[in-house]
Chain A
Amino acid sequence: MKKSFLIQFSILILLIIFANLGLRSLESYDDDELGNAGGIRIDLTGNETVYESSPKDLSPREGGTLVLAESAEPEHLNTYTSTSAAATRVLDYIYETLLDYDYETWRFDRPILAESFSISDDGHTFTFKIRKNVYWHDGQQLTADDVLFSIKAVLNPFVDSAPMRSSFSKVVSARTNGPYEFEISSSETYFRNQEILGGFHIIPKHIWDPEGLLDRYSVEDLLNSSVTREEAAIKQFADAFNTHPQGRPVGDEAMPIIGSGPWVFDKWITGDHISFARNENYWNDDSTYINGYSEEGAYLDKVIVKVITDATARLTALKAGEIDFIPRMRAVQYFTQTNTPDFLEKFQKVSYVVPAYSYIGWNNDKPYFSDKRVRQAMTMLIDRDSYNKYVAYGLGIPTIGPFYIYGEQYNHNIERWPYDPIRAVELIEEAGWIDHDGDGIRDKDGVPFNFTFSVSAGSTSSKYMALMLKEDLRKVGIIVNIRQLEWSVYVENLRDRQFDVVSLLWIGGLESDPYQIWHSDNIGDRGSNYMGFRHAEADSLIETARFEMNKEKRNAMYFRLQEIFHEEQPYTFMFYQRDPGAYLKEFHGVKWIPIRPGYKLYSWWRNTSMAGEAS
């Protein structure tokens, strides 16, 4: 017995020693000392629209493989019915859109599959001329029929694409004029029309609807509920579409996805990786692909997206050479675990801004948060700067509203609420939350100030936020309960508005329309105004701005809207995010852009000779 104890004990000691072998002397944490931790901090402001973080002295070469790590695996890869960000990132390699952002002006007017486009004088109709030299990965030609089919699939009411379809709700008709012209009309001159009508993935008709079930129906038919109810073929198509084997794993593998982009779908080994090979017959191989950004399609022979859910395992895999690029790592890894000279010599660390902001949402319909003074007080009780400095390692950019911080919609004239617990307590008391019964907890009308902070189980940062808030509010007589929920349950509760407080990240765009989240139309019925924000002036501003095509006038309305948000504090707006990442220095042409996911692999190439020259 003594012996077994000794053996156990020595094994434990050995394990501890092994676990700490990588241990280095730790300097005390100091913000100035930390700086950028040997990485490049990229803020795309002003005229700088694309940033290249790799040396520019070499000309690109084809070949090589890039292995990157994603934290989540898409549930499937049907581009219209999928809602996960992981799926979108993968599908962007395969599919293309009619238009895309111009990477110099960041306007959504660069023709991709369209050769050119025109807008009718009244602004209602968009006409796209489709390129004549575009071929699908299986060799068939891409024509206006495919584009028309794609919009039909989206608009088919039985296809599970409701979130996407809501953006297309103003579409009234669409048709082809010959094989290379596509025309689409909407009932309103909405300012985001160009982005929506030119920005959806085009999918091949011959793969998704080989029997031509939708051929008989026009877009008008699909929008007419009396037709869609009557015609069985529409439902039949949708059922087949929703469960189409394309991009849906069967066993370990998935059927190859046919697209038109610079990469061809290669393999999806579920639970392990998704891979793409360079499209040797890419239609655009002989012309400049993106002005000022990259040339001639893709350089890399192969891209492998590895799925590694655990952050620690991702970093270990990078260090071990199993992967070449981690787009998003944890801040603590970026700032404290990758500072060795070895790592910095081999890898380039980069932190880049993406249009996504974090916030704490107060359910405006709960008794605690129905008074704006309480919401203002909550904002002033949260020491956002300390949180950013110590928990987020300074990666956040404080924001006062929902618009992209470097975009034209953002109102820079508004000053953030300060961290001021004393004023906050005064406001809470003004609102009537006083400890009437002397039990140490504030109450009003017999309701104790005792609310639940819902935290998604995987999110360490919101867990920390909740723990800090709990401790701070306890001191002013408010009880916070923390509830950790599985992501799917969390989202369900959010949609049903069954929560008091949530902490979330919203991924937006360079230009966004606040209608979806902030208009009172979208409260309840699973609408996205989860906080229940109601404000008459805000509603009318949002409605008018949507159809105001003059940018200056529109942005003036959004400036006013942000003043209302600031005053009302339906959210406590926290930070725009910088994502910290790292890639192997062998890669060149590494460019960072302000739209998600923050990088596009088209321009990346691998300087494989680096190793060769050295030997």
Chain B
Amino acid sequence: MSEMAPARTYSQIVGSQFRKNKLAVLSLHVIYVLLFVFIFADFLANDKPIVMRYQGSTYFPVFREYGVRWFGLNWQDAFKSQQFKILEDKYGEGDWAIYPVIPYSSTEYNLQVKLQPPSRAHIFGTDELGRDVLSQMIHGARVSLLVGFVAVAIYVFIGVILGALAGFYGGIIDIVIQRMIEIMITFPRMFLIITIVAVMETQSILNIMIILGLTGWTGVARFTRGEFLKVKNEDYVVAAKALGYRDFRTIFRHVLPNTLTPVLVTATFGVAAAILIESGLSFLGFGAPPEQATWGSLLSSARDTLPTGWWLTTFPGLAIFITVTVYNLVGEGLRDALDPRLKQ
């Protein structure tokens, strides 16, 4: 036993455990694809060309759009109306444009092609206003993932802090925080969210993310509290106390890093749950504003057209299903890899 293999780090062990789970690895790759779509949505589906040659100069309209949106740039005079497709009529010698794979934006409508089944022009068909479904799904993926991550980040932050305080100090702080948790969980979450959304002045995704964050922290807080109770009497914690470290340092430098990993695993499931709730809210019309394409709102508009518009239900439904499933599978894989005892 003295000749051991080179010592493996914790993350290497976890990594190799995780890789044993083929389904989880596959799911992780699906998440990579989703992240790619998330980042490059504007380059995948847009009514503006990525590169175009127009009257002797080369332009990059998609990049320009970012410049206009974030850096206070302006559109070139020729492109003020942003109707690049109409400009094609004015193309002179040597003018060309390279469009994204799906040359439609999520808001661009064309009534003549409303409710078209999938075809070569519109791979996933069109909706009631003749908007491209695939383009809406690509831009909708942004909303779903953003809502998932930001909402979970908010509630993990709140939950970890409250759980840490409760677990570390115990006593009256613990009692107060525990009662807060109990009060929160007595409200059915979906109804609580719908009630809050109903009284909000404006509809925005940011609101949804904040509300999801503010209502979802209880599970994380309980979990963190439990982990804290487990480790707070470990020698290294006692040592930290004996050295006279301030509580803040003890909690966040010494105890928390040792309890955080299992918390982050539950967060993976949380992302899936948040995506599902956002879809549900958009389906009910409480979610994102109407001009914002989301998977849930696509499904909702499909409800009116069934049974004819099957492509309006099938593709967004599958997208929600796959996304939620892969996050759950990755979460399961991580949990098993981190804690082999749990594995049956």
Contact = CB atoms under 8 A, between A and B. Distances in A.
The reply to whether chain A is a binding partner of chain B is: yes
Given A23-B310, A468-B129, A5 B109 contact: no
A439 interface: yes
A475 B82 contact: yes
A24 B307 contact: yes
Given A332-B128, A336-B305, A471 B107 contact: yes
Given A16-B317, A460-B304, A475-B82, A482 B290 contact: yes
Interface string A328-346: 0010100011000000000
Interface of A: 1-2, 5, 8-9, 12, 16, 19-24, 26, 28-29, 311-312, 330, 332, 336-337, 386-387, 389-391, 435, 438-440, 455, 457, 460, 463-464, 466-468, 470-471, 474-477, 482-484, 486
A291 B263 CA distance: 79
B2 interface: no
Interface of B: 21, 23, 68, 72, 74-75, 80-83, 107-109, 111-112, 114-117, 128-130, 198, 202-203, 285, 289-291, 303-308, 310, 313-314, 317-318, 321, 325, 329, 332
What secondary structure prevails in chain B residues at the interface with A?
A: loop
A8 B308 CA distance: 25
13 contacts: A1-B332, A9-B325, A16-B313, A330-B304, A336-B115, A336-B305, A439-B74, A440-B68, A463-B290, A470-B291, A474-B82, A477-B80, A482-B291
B301 to A, nearest CB: 8
A438 B79 CA distance: 12
Contacts, number: 110
Contacts of B82: 474-475
Which of B107, B202, B290, B306 has the most C-beta atoms of chain A within 10 angstroms of its own C-beta? B290
Given A330-B304, A390-B111, A440-B74, A484 B285 contact: yes
B291 A467 contact: yes
B332 A23 contact: no
Counting from the closest, the 6 A-B pairs by CB-CB distance are A22-B307, A390-B111, A20-B310, A475-B81, A438-B74, A23-B307
A88 B111 CA distance: 37
A409 to B, nearest CB: 33
B146 to A, nearest CB: 20
A370 B52 CA distance: 40
Contacts of A312: 303-304, 306
A603 B108 CA distance: 49
Nearest to B21: A1
Given A5-B329, A29-B115, A486-B198, A467 B321 contact: no
Contact of B289 (A332, A477, A484): A484
B70 to A, nearest CB: 13
A484 B290 contact: yes
B23 A440 contact: no
Contacts of A468: 109, 129
Contacts of B329: 1, 5
Contacts of B107: 467, 470-471
